[in-house]
């Protein structure tokens, strides 16, 4: 959510930003919110005037009573009563207008960074850099579910009977590999100076609307029936929510946190063959990183965050590339975003395994997170990035470490987490 004062003073900048995101049909929202805000401020002015009059009248009544002018005091009391009724009506109207202003402001996208490429959707995202040499083996690489099943590590049929499509059972060494990757990612981030956290896996609605747009919320979140609770789609939601309504001492910035959680997502819509199996699912686990920092430091932290993911994947011998998300592919709260994609030898192309985002002060403004600075209070910037999200990451891992006999090499970084195993063998 952008600053209403900035919108009032720069309506054309806000509209141009919406055009960059191909939201021309919503440009009227800027004019609508300006009109409502003007009306709200006028009503507030009237209410403030009545409050001032009420205080003045109260003093006059005291003076009149002290002088024994009871009749005049009673007439003045009648004025106060009428003023109180009028004030109550104005306060109700002001609250109603404020609610409408907030509802529209939460639909207007954040101002994107000038470096963001202009494009309508993810097909127009721009490759930035490649890390590692993509390899295509001289043997056929099976579909990831076949690799897992050949290692007795996956049961989708049982999961369908128990929970439906979009769920899975991981077993044996595949399950162990899954846990090993998460444990390694935890230690990898701790070694980079991040504080390890395990957050709540459910959050209240005011946190949900503070960390994401309404469209994202509808597409992702599972609601707990009968309670004001949602299952998290990523631990970023809980981790940023941790600071709701707090005033942070500037000297404690930045907060650099890495968090583990299960994640739950609706994943609406039909998907193609390459997104079946354990690629696009309703439940998975993830290691995340988040930063709360001074606005002037957010660009530096953005580059550090995506580099952490690149470095992590390279320690596991997986080639990756970074992709700059175009304007039309950015969610409403995002200022800038880079996707990290891993190489798939089977598909002979890259696919997404993580996303790094700078949200500016949008989440802090929505959640009322402020910083006590030397020159006054301000909203900090918040950033988040995926360290690793198996089991999707397992697809890249298995394909890039597969041997022609069906065995899978385990990179040295994971040996301590796999009990010394150096290779997974077919049964």
Domain hosting residue 218, numbered range: 122-424
Q: Looking at the domain assignment, is residue 112 inside a domain?
A: no
Beta bridge partners of 343: 350
List the beta strands (DSSP E) in 198-254.
Answer: 202-203, 222-223, 230-231, 247-249
Shared domain check, 209 and 89: no
Of the candidates 380, 381, 370, 372, which has an alpha carbon nearest to the alpha carbon of residue 250?
Answer: 372
Residue 410 located in a structural domain: yes
Domain boundary among the residues 105, 140, 159 is at: 105
Is residue 317 a part of any domain in this protein?
Answer: yes
Distance of CA 82 to the CA centre of its chain: 48
Let me know whether 74 and 172 are in one domain: no
223: tokens are 């609601």
**What is the layout of strands, in order, in the sheet containing 376-378?**
247-249, 370-373, 376-378
Q: What is the DSSP letter of 244?
A: T
Position 57 scores a pLDDT of 67
pLDDT at 220: 86
Last residue of a domain, one of 57, 79, 105: 105
List CB contacts of 352: < 8 A, sequence separation 6 or more.
339, 340, 341
- The answer to whether position 110 is within a domain reads no
| CATH code for the domain in which residue 73 is found | 1.10.287.40
Q: Are the C-beta atoms of residues 34 and 41 closer than 8 Å to each other? A: no
Q: Count the Cβ atoms, other than its own, within 10 Å of residue 315.
A: 13
* Residue 260 within any structural domain of the chain: yes
| Residue whose entry in the numeric block shows the structure tokens 């800038």 | 336
Place of tokens 């942070």: 248
**Is 115 among the domain residues?**
no
User: Does residue 148 share a domain with residue 248?
Assistant: yes
**Residue the block writes with tokens 């106060």:** 80
pLDDT at 58: 67
Same domain (yes/no): 294, 324 = yes
State residue 271's pLDDT score. 56
> How many distinct structural domains can be found in the chain?
2
Q: What is the pLDDT of residue 191?
A: 98
Residues 171 and 273 in one domain: yes
Q: Within this chain, do residues 347 and 205 fall inside the same structural domain, yes or no? A: yes
Buried b (16+ CB within 10 A) or exposed e, 319-334: bbbbbbbbbbbbbbbb
**pLDDT (0 to 100) of residue 269:** 56
For residues 154 and 201, state if they share a domain.
yes
Q: Do 99 and 132 share a domain, yes or no?
A: no
- Please state, as a whole number, how many other Cβ atoms lie within 10 Å of the Cβ of residue 205: 14
Cis peptide before 254 (omega within 30 of 0): yes
**pLDDT tens column, 241-275:** 999 999 999 999 999 999 999 999 997 654 555 55
Q: Write down the pLDDT at residue 66.
A: 66
Query: 139 and 230, same structural domain?
Result: yes
Residue 178 lies in a domain: yes
Instruction: Note whether residue 17 is domain-resident.
Output: yes
SS3 81: helix
The string of DSSP codes covering 266-278 is ---S---GGGTTT
78 exposed, middle or buried (CB, 10 Å; 0-12, 13-18, 19+)? exposed
235/271 same-domain check:
yes
- Can you give the pLDDT at residue 59? 65
Low-confidence ranges of the chain (pLDDT < 70): 54-67, 69-74, 76, 80, 268-275
**Which residue carries 């192309």 as its tokens?**
349
pTM higher than 0.85:
yes
At 55 the pLDDT is 67
Alpha helices in 28-107 (DSSP H): 28-66, 70-105
Where does 85-178 show beta strands of DSSP type E? 126-131, 154-155, 169-170
Domain containing residue 325: CATH number: 3.30.930.10
111/365 Cα distance (integer angstroms): 14
Same domain, 233 and 152: yes
State the Cα–Cα distance between residues 1 and 15, nearest whole angstrom.
14
Residues 144 and 91 occupy one common structural domain: no
């Amino acid at each position: 959510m952008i600053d209403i004062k900035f919108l009032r003073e720069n309506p054309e900048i806000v509209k141009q930003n919406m055009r960059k995101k191909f939201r021309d049909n919503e440009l009227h929202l800027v004019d609508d919110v300006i009109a409502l805000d003007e009306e709200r401020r006028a009503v507030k002015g009237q209410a403030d005037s009545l409050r001032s009059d009420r205080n003045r009248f109260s003093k006059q009544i005291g003076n009149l009573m002290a002088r024994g002018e009871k009749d005049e005091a009673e007439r003045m009391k009648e004025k106060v009563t009428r003023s109180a009724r009028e004030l109550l009506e104005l306060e109700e109207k002001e609250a109603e207008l404020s609610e409408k202003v907030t509802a529209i402001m939460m639909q207007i996208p954040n101002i994107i960074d000038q470096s963001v490429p202009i494009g309508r959707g993810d097909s127009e995202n721009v490759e930035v850099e490649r890390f590692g040499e993509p390899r295509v083996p001289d043997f056929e690489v099976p579909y990831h579910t076949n690799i897992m099943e050949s290692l007795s590590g996956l049961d989708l049929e049982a999961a369908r009977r128990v929970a439906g499509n979009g769920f899975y059972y991981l077993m044996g060494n595949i399950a162990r590999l899954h846990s090993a990757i998460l444990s390694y990612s935890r230690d990898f981030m701790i070694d980079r100076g991040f504080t390890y956290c395990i957050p709540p896996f459910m959050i209240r609605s005011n946190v949900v609307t503070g960390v994401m747009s309404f469209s994202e919320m509808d597409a992702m979140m599972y609601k707990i029936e009968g309670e004001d609770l949602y299952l998290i789609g990523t631990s970023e939601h809980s981790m940023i929510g941790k600071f709701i309504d707090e005033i942070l001492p500037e000297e404690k910035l930045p907060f650099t946190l890495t968090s583990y959680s299960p994640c739950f997502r609706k994943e609406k819509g039909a998907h193609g063959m390459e997104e079946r199996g354990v690629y696009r699912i309703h439940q998975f686990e993830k290691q995340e990183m988040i930063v709360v920092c001074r606005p002037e430091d957010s660009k530096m932290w953005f580059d550090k965050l995506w580099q952490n993911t690149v470095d992590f994947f390279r320690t596991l011998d997986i080639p990756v590339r970074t992709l700059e998300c175009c304007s039309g592919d950015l969610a409403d709260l995002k200022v800038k975003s880079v996707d990290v994609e891993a190489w798939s030898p089977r598909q002979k192309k890259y696919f997404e395994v993580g996303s790094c985002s700078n949200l500016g002060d949008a989440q802090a403004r929505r959640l009322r997170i402020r910083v006590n600075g030397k020159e006054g209070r301000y909203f900090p910037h918040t950033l988040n990035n995926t360290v690793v999200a198996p089991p999707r990451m397992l697809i890249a891992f298995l394909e890039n470490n597969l041997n022609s006999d069906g065995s899978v090499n385990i990179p040295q970084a994971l040996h301590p987490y796999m009990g010394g195993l150096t290779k997974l063998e077919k049964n």
